[in-house]
Chains A and B, each alone.
Chain A
Amino acid sequence: MQSKTVAFCERMYGWLLKAYPPSHRVEYGEAMAQAFRDLCRDACARHGTWGLLKVVLFTLADAVPSLVAEYTAQEARAMLKRILNSQISFGRLERSIGPIFAMLGAGVLALALHRFYEMHLDGAPFWLGALAATTLALLFAVVGLLVHVLKRWNIPVVQYRRAPGQMLRYFINAPGLCYTAGTWVLVGSVYKLGELRLTEAELLIGLLIALALSMLFIALGLLLNIAKPHNKFV
């Protein structure tokens, strides 16, 4: 009778094991079932059915935190792996470069034009300054594109000529927009804070808030970049 009860408890534990992450179940499922079986037999031999019931309840209580721990560890490992891959894999990093450089270029251009307007430049000085700022902004974009081309240098450049839409999407995408927004928030805030007559403490608080807001956007961009499927640009 007791061996049937133990066998029943083993079957129940087998169902519980299905709740564990597949990798953990494949690696340790059999050993865990074996340990549970030993516990049940020992408890039955010493204390009968009451001992067996206590073991079952104890094992159920033990399973809850261990399930949480295994799933949490698995998710943390998966996220860390994705983050590390995005750092060490040039493919993933390179997908960020275009948006980042576009962001920098846009920031430089906007800042320069705003400054020229405030300085009341007009005529030749304004247009020269605007040309210089535009050139600098385009340079950022070209460098970003060049990095991408160098990475895939075995693909003929002519393909880029045939896919301007793809090129545009390379620079303008969700992560890129987030990085750009983050930069605009930071640069704009710093610029505006500099114009206001603030005390040191107020300036510091303002800068910290601006940095925090900017980091939020940049973090969102990074998360979107990491979560993106493999780049199908080319």
Chain B
Amino acid sequence: MSQSAPEDLLPLTPAVFHILIALAGGERHGYAIMTEVTAATGGQLRMGPGTLYGSIKRMIASGLIEEAEERPEPSLDDERRRYYRLTPFGRKVCAAESRRLEKLVALVRRKGLTRPAYN
């Protein structure tokens, strides 16, 4: 599969971006991604299984993530779970989206529409 440039996939949807961020910390299975995204956004973004696996399917097709080895999650139960991890291309896309959002935030601040968080 020929990959496009990272910038070609921008802007990312919030769900996709947060899944990439969740996987930046290492391999995760589906439920772990859901809980990490909910925690990271303070409950603002919640994904159900439908949204999660629809996004995962499209992200695998785009080369952003890949499936890792199935294994049980000891803290949950003995069932084997499908784990996912970020690809190098996925990391580049995540970084590109971050830069895009940084520029957007800088623009908003220049316009005086918001103050920095530390003020």
Contacts and interface: CB of A to CB of B under 8 A. Distances in A.
Interface of A: 24, 27-28, 31-36, 38-39, 42, 58-59, 61-63, 65-67, 69-70, 73
30 contacts: A24-B53, A24-B57, A31-B30, A31-B53, A31-B82, A32-B30, A32-B49, A33-B49, A34-B79, A34-B81, A35-B30, A35-B53, A38-B31, A38-B76, A39-B31, A39-B49, A42-B35, A58-B46, A58-B48, A59-B49, A59-B50, A61-B48, A62-B47, A62-B48, A62-B50, A66-B48, A66-B50, A66-B54, A67-B50, A70-B54
A23 B115 CA distance: 48
Contacts of A33: 49
Interface residues of B, number: 20
Contact of A63 (B30, B31, B50, B79): B50
B85 to A, nearest CB: 15
A77 B43 CA distance: 34
The DSSP consensus for interface residues of chain B is: helix
A34 B48 contact: no
Contacts of A67: 50
B52 interface: yes
A28 B31 contact: no
A36 B47 CA distance: 11
Contacts of B94: none
Contact of A32 (B35, B50, B81): B50
A35 B31 CA distance: 5
Interface of B: 30-31, 34-35, 46-54, 56-58, 76, 79, 81-82
Contact of A39 (B34, B51, B58, B82): B34
Contacts of B34: 35, 39
Given A32-B52, A63-B48, A69-B54, 9 more contacts: A28-B53, A32-B49, A32-B53, A35-B53, A39-B48, A42-B35, A62-B50, A65-B50, A73-B58
A32 B47 CA distance: 12
Which one of B34, B48, B58 has the greatest number of beta carbons of chain A within 10 Å?
B48
A73 B54 CA distance: 10
A68 to B, nearest CB: 10
A36 B51 CA distance: 12
A27 B47 CA distance: 19
Contacts of B52: 32, 35
B15 to A, nearest CB: 11
Contacts of B30: 31-32, 34-35
